[in-house]
Amino acid sequence: MKTAYKSIGKSQRGLLPVAVLALAATASPSIYAQAPSGSSLHLYGLVDAAFGNFEGPTTGVNAQDRAVRKIDGGAMSTSHWGVRGNEDLGDGLSASFDLSSFVRNDSGATGRSDALPAPVNVAADPVFSRAAWVGLAHPAWGRVRLGNITSLFFVNSVSSNAFGDSTVLAPLNLITFIGSPLSGGTGWTNSVAYDSPSWGGMNFSATHAISEGQGGGNTAVRAAFSQGPFSASIVGQSVKKNPLTFADGTSSNDTRAWQLATSYDFTVVKVFAHLGGIENRGTAAAPLDASYRLWDLSAAVPLGAGRVLAGYASRRTNDKVGAVPATAAGGNLQRRVLTVGYDYFLSKSTDLYLMAIRDRTVTQTLGNPQAMLATGTGLAVGMRHRF
């Protein structure tokens, strides 16, 4: 992926989110007054914070990890804010845009993480790394978007998962995106995306992220069906933008991946299931042929003003993979994650949650003929507010 603001100075980057927020807050009345009829502009976002005791990072435990007490700025959802707008162009045609930024509300920093050094060489998130696109839509033709767009693989995972978009507590997202062999991350820059209309509950999407000299480009296709309490979807992607250039993943390898998702709402419980695979092809300089199989089950049970949530996910490979240091996280042979907890809604916009997580990894370590097992537990209590 590619950062997009080389002309902005380092000090100015930190001030940009503040300046945009201030502009939106002070200029909203005049913006709405001057907007053409049928147009809209909205400031939106989510702030999530949790206090917890975690053993090992979200990328997985290792044999030398010890429990750490901390504040996490985004355990059930990654905190973010954004501005989106829409204009009615007539005859059913509309124009829209979305500019959205991640924020670490535990420290006030922009993005999800700082730059990662060699051999990963991943830069810190730019300001609008969550979304930055403009598009045209029509009810009969669908929608076309250009820019930095959420990957279809991430859309498929979070839209059919009891824990939604959590990358700290959701078992499916942890084994798929965090410390995983999957490359491409959760958002693709320099993308062209098409989303079809819905035909009897069926729709499809396609995205291509243009290479711009990075080695091939990324392509993904997704099809989804929803009818009453039943939903199902399938997604496939090929990632060849090598290397990545901001913290939307930590692997520069070429990969192919697929995922089948399904859910059914029995009213007393909603059940979700996933089955998928990742083919790690390595790089041109260091080719690799390793296959991983992933599966997940999760459920949401309504109880009082909230929901009991539970999920279990597994990723494993039987192929030969390179040994890593005993301090490496994630498990290059196997990772299994179990999370259970309760999510209580104070209102439609605000909820409190209590979650417990168990992380288990099996890693082939350097200088050790036997695979090493590491386990870790975590407990988090937090609050999430949408605006």
Strand, helix or coil for residue 34: helix
Which pLDDT value is given to residue 191? 94
Q: Which residues contact 181 (CB under 8 A, 6 or more apart)?
A: 251, 253, 255, 278, 280, 290, 292, 332
Nearest 5 degrees, angle CA 357-CA 360-CA 365? 145
d(CA 56, CA 361): 11
Query: Could you tell me which of 237, 241, 189 has the C-alpha nearest to residue 215?
Result: 241
Overall size of the chain counted in residues: 387
Question: pLDDT-derived band of residue 283, with 50, 70 and 90 as boundaries?
Answer: confident
326 contacts 62 by C-beta, under 8 angstroms: yes
pLDDT tens for each residue of 9-24: 333 434 444 343 343 4
Which pLDDT value is given to residue 200? 94
Which pLDDT value is given to residue 217? 87
pLDDT at 138 exceeding the cut of 80: yes
Topology (CATH) of 10-22+45-386: Porin (2.40.160)
166 contacts 173 by C-beta, under 8 angstroms: yes
Which pLDDT value is given to residue 17? 42
pLDDT tens for each residue of 154-211: 999 999 999 999 999 999 999 999 888 998 889 998 999 999 999 999 999 999 999 8
Query: What tokens were used for 99?
Result: 């500019």
Q: For the whole model, what pTM was predicted?
A: 0.86
Strand, helix or coil for residue 164: coil
Question: Phi/psi class of residue 29: alpha, beta or left (left: φ > 0; alpha: ψ in -120 to 50)?
Answer: alpha
Q: Is the peptide bond before 36 cis (omega within 30 degrees of 0)?
A: no
187, HSE (Cβ side, Cα atoms, 13 Å):
26
pLDDT at 2 exceeding the cut of 50: no
pLDDT tens for each residue of 90-102: 999 999 999 999 9
Per-residue pLDDT averaged across 368-377, rounded?
91
Locate the domains of the chain by residue range.
Answer: 10-22+45-386
Which pLDDT value is given to residue 34? 46
Q: What are the CA-CA distances from residue 159 to residues 27, 131, 164, 234, 262 (Å)?
A: 34, 17, 6, 12, 10
Query: Could you tell me which of 105, 127, 171, 97 has the C-alpha nearest to residue 385?
Result: 105
Q: How does the average pLDDT of the chain come out, rounded?
A: 87
Per-residue pLDDT averaged across 252-279, rounded?
96
d(CA 203, CA 199): 6
Per-residue pLDDT averaged across 348-352, rounded?
97
Question: pLDDT-derived band of residue 65, with 50, 70 and 90 as boundaries?
Answer: confident
CB atoms within 10 A of CB 167: 22
